[in-house]
């Protein structure tokens, strides 16, 4: 067993569309444990820290603006290999091509170029998880 913790965010589109409960149901059905959960309205400084790896990319500013458009639900999630497991539940980044059965594949809409509106975030490595959990909690 490799019990890990990860940061999951239900992003502003997921919260605004009333999908928080449906997303949490999938997480709980998988057997992961909610260790902590909070509604956060992040400021630019928090988001700059969270998305530091993407600074300078063409989608960076629209991403930050979108993430400031409303609250996100931040979740400290624990479970066996939860970092990889949650990203598998979430599906690939672009909702248009994310597989059916995944959160992004089932709920993500084709919003034109707005790939950032893909409902959820999940940390991509143990190092990212520890860093991001420290930012949001």
Residue 121 known to be catalytic? yes
Binding site annotation covers 107? no
For ligand DAT, the closer CB: 54 or 109: 54
User: Looking at the chain, how many residues does it have?
Assistant: 137
Nearer to ligand DAT, 1 or 7 (CB): 7
CB of 84 to ligand DAT, least distance (A): 12
- Candidate list 19, 121, 129, 136, residue with the active-site label: 121
Contact residues: ligand DAT, CB under 6 A = 54, 59, 63, 93, 115-116, 118, 121, 124
Tokens of 120: 């959820």
DSSP bridge pairs for 7:
76
> What is the bridge-based pairing of β-strands 33-40 and 72-80?
antiparallel
Residue 5, CA distances (Å) to 2, 17, 83 in order: 10, 26, 7
Binding site as annotated, residues for ATP: 11, 59, 87, 93, 104, 118
């Amino acid at each position: 067993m490799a019990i890990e913790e990860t940061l999951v965010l239900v992003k502003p589109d997921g919260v605004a569309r009333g999908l928080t409960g449906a997303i949490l149901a999938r997480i709980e059905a998988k057997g992961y444990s909610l260790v902590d959960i909070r509604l956060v309205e992040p400021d630019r400084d928090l988001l700059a820290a969270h998305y530091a790896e993407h600074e300078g990319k063409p989608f960076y500013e629209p991403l930050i603006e979108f993430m400031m458009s409303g609250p996100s639900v931040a979740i400290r999630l624990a479970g066996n290999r939860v970092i990889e497991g949650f990203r598998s539940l979430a599906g690939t980044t672009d909702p248009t091509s994310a597989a059916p059965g995944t959160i992004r594949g089932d709920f993500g809409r084709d919003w034109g170029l707005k790939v950032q509106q893909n409902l959820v975030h999940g940390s991509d490595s143990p190092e990212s998880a520890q860093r991001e959990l420290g930012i949001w909690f």
